[in-house]
Structure 1
Amino acid sequence: EQELARELRQHNDLDAARQLVMSHLRFVVHVARSYTGYGLPLGDLIQEGNVGLMKAVKRFDPEQNVRLVSFAVHWIKAEIHEYVLRNWRIVKVATTKAQRKLFFNLRSAKKRLGWMNNQEVEALAQDLGVSTAVVREMESRLSGHDVSFDPAPESDSSEERDYYSPAAYLEDAGADPALVLEREDWEEDASQRLLLALDELDERSRDILQRRWLNEDKPTLHQLAEEYGVSAERIRQIESSAIKKLQANMVA
């Protein structure tokens, strides 16, 4: 990563830039998924995040001793935030055919009647051929309003700003994309090292270890002893020796 970044910074190596971008695309997906609570297409969120990633790659300084993923997350989120601000509304007022039909009629009715009672709701529902539940839902939607994506600076208390700001709670704060990606990379690397370490064992040791530790249905020592024609104690010794070899091979 550092060498590719230096090639890009010092020689404007576009191939190095492409490799840096391609190697971090999965990270963009992790970030974008934490914004799906807005109801916007995931593909669009990812596309905007990719724009942020490319901007980050262009501005990344490898001499600052930080990983690109830590630097890029701010650029990726900034682009996604801009997209959400341009396209997001908490409630799409009329989404079904019945709601669209009701929308225009109910707006005029509310101007005349204000907040309607049960009799008025039933009369309007009958006139328009919809249920009273649909009328009540639309009435509630028309009485609502959009709220700011970011905390309102004029709010008196920090608690009020945090509570009413979608930016404060619609992003999943419990799943830091950088940590998620790092954990997945570690798990993938550990799995690869496990497979390589297993290949270093002899066939019998590998078979015993896999069946005792990796299979769903684990045979007992006595079952394996009968199969291999040795004592259960001998199977235990082989298993113990194989585990030690496996651990040594994995940390080598």
Structure 2
Amino acid sequence: MQTANHSLATASPSLAVAIANPGALGTLDAYISTVNRLPLLTPEQETSLARKLRDTDSLDAARELVVSHLRLVVSVSRQYLGYGLPHADLIQEGNVGLMKAVKRFDPERGVRLVSFAVHWIKAEIHEFIIRNWRLVKVATTKAQRKLFFNLRSMRPDGQTLDPAQIDAIARELDVRPQDVSEMEVRLTGRDMSLENQDDDDDTYAPIAYLSDEGRQEPTQVMERAAQSALQGRGLAGALDVLDERSRRIVQARWLQDEGGATLHELAQEFGVSAERIRQIEAAAMKKMRAALSA
């Protein structure tokens, strides 16, 4: 068998690109075939590379650790094909989780990287699925996320749950019955396009009967004037009560011209968890509301 170092030396240029884009090797099948042919690291090799990365920040050591575990990402990503998202995208997000795991791996804990990395890979894929599965977010709290990734498999043949089944699932997942009922509704619902998706002029889409925002009704004029004042003097004053980090989070999330930053993106920027960013955001909003009502 070839040594891991020899295989990586010959495959690293293309695989380095493939880590960021699994389609870079031509097809997804070609990518999977390539990573599955790479030999696994022995425990001794893994420990040596991890120590080298820890002590010297060696990019070569990091690359070898990542590339030798790409097959793990492929394996984990297959578990999430039922959500209708491209397999290549799932692999790409899983690779991001793998790289985070390699960066944080401690070789002195006596745990193999494969066991440590699987949790980071799943977490990154979970974030991607929740961001992209629906236009409207279906799972934002910890309990909702647990339900989102378990309820589909626990529903008998996809049928509507009766009260007894809802109570049983709630007990098993340690969540409230009303959370189970709410998530079931969200999972069985579907996104609706505002505009007509076919060429039939006789078919009405929601856009046809929504209110005309161009009409200058007195209530709308007053609301726009109040909103304009709020966004001017009031908003500036409310932002001034926040510390620098809280102000940055609020501005990035809600005051961007085109699409605000996600909790996950801000978590990476500040080096904390997405849940911590959510907590800071909630506290900042509370301070701003108090300032605006003063």
TM value normalised by structure 2: 0.34
Query: Which one has more relative contact order, counting CA pairs under 8 Å at least 6 apart?
Result: 1
Greater C-alpha radius of gyration: 1
TM value normalised by structure 1: 0.39
